[in-house]
Structure 1
Amino acid sequence: MSDEQESAVQELPLMGAGDKLRAAREAMGVDIEHISAQTRIPNRHLEAIEKGKFDSLPSRTYAIGFARSFAREVGLDDVEIADEVRVELADMQSHRAVMAAGMEPGDSAKLPSAGLAWFGAFAALLLAAGVVAFVSTYFGAGTGPGPLIAEGNAAEAEVDAALAENSAGATGPLSSAGQVVFTALEDGIWVRFYEDGGERLLEKQMSSGESFELPAGVTEPRINTGRPDAFAITINGQAVPKLSDEPVTLGDTPISAAALLARADVPDSAIPAPN
């Protein structure tokens, strides 16, 4: 990091991760569009990161992976930024847990102690992990006997590596006729890709980092899996939201580029017409 960037970042000691990234970008004299072009991360996600709205991104792992890529591009320590994003996400989750319990912001008489708030957040995390493990064990389609791997450093590293690989191989903008690629983020993830009507394209347990490209000209491709949360998806090398952030059984789900863009709520005006 240059002296100018370091000075800009250190001006406000209480800056959040998003503020530090924005300050470093401005010190470099570049705009969001430049960072987006270098990292292949959509502008709206970069803007959300700079505003500290990490919970508005597709998932926790994407928030941390995107922030790390952003940090490297502007010369900041990506490990330090990733740690700060984790802390901010934990604070957001704790705040939501307090609000869900019926607390009214600004009413000091009703606010719990810091210890009680953290205990409540920890209990909520344990409950959520138990529910996810139960669903994965009893309703996952062919996921095998292995335990569910919680989102953590390993999953974040896989997403980060997938982003780097996708950036290197990006072939163009988002398009309803673009190349769709599914990349497994964990080992032993069972999946079946097929065409509408039953023509099988691929059926196997994929390994972590293994990718599958939908063949060109395939007719109405579909997916069947119990772990849609364990697949990163790109269109022409650009990441799009997962089919689900939780382990849930999906069957006969359309996965063409057009269907994925529709799920991601990408406006038609942002999608170039195919040649």
Structure 2
Amino acid sequence: MADEETAPEQGELAITRTGDKLRLAREAAGLSLADVATRTRITQRHLDAIEKSDFSELPGRTYVTGFARAYARAVDLPETEIAASIRRELEEDQYGARPVYEAYEPTDPARLPTARLTWTLVIIALLLVSAYGVWRFLSVEPDEALIAAQNQAAEDSEAPATQAATATAPAKTGASVAANAPVVLTGLSEVWIGFDDAKGKTENWRTLDPGETYEVPAAYIEQFTLRTSIPQALKVTVGGRDVGPIGPADTLVKGISLKPADLVARAGGGTAATAPAATPAPKTAR
């Protein structure tokens, strides 16, 4: 009888890993792993590794804690507690996996590492450093392949009539605006912007973080036009005046005149003056 009564407690105590808590909360909320991946923008492979407490599959200690906190938010668990539990498990895994200390006598030739072993370790270390450098470059630098694909998509899909429309005269507007009024771009979310020359070639580009502002230089206003692939994520103001959306959502637009008068004309309904090209932006996996 005593064994039967204690059996349920042992079953409950078996669930002690943080990954089990996250998985049970996800299942209780009726979410799939793909749903959590969509909410957190973390790959399913990494989420699965967290549920299994298999931290060796993740890039590093900082990422383990950050991914676990994001997972906790997605399933309405206290992220601070989850992060603390994850850190404890990392410490346990780190110290539990250490080999038992064994005395080392450096003067004993039989215990000294051979030259081949030394060179092997050096080569492995160099490969790891190179791999880390490549990973950092790919994770920090903007995706130039995506930019090139967006530019090519706009060029291929642009009709001759659209090209002719871009050469029309500036729109007439009743609103007065100073020719040197500051043009400021603000990222509402992370957004890529490019500046095209007279031939439509993107000469300069940058990425704005959420809340970051960028005042367009006077030389850019005269020489370039604006393009972006997420118009709804970009706020454009002229002398502090919001000119409104510069194109349909999730659409690659280009040929947006940066001249203050043209931008104010857009706010007043004179969008025909700039006639930016609009094509669906290619979707890529992050």
Give the structure-1-normalised TM-score.
Answer: 0.34
When Rg is computed on C-alpha atoms for both structures, the one with the higher figure is 2
- Give the structure, 1 or 2, with the largest relative contact order (CA under 8 Å, sep 6 or more): 1
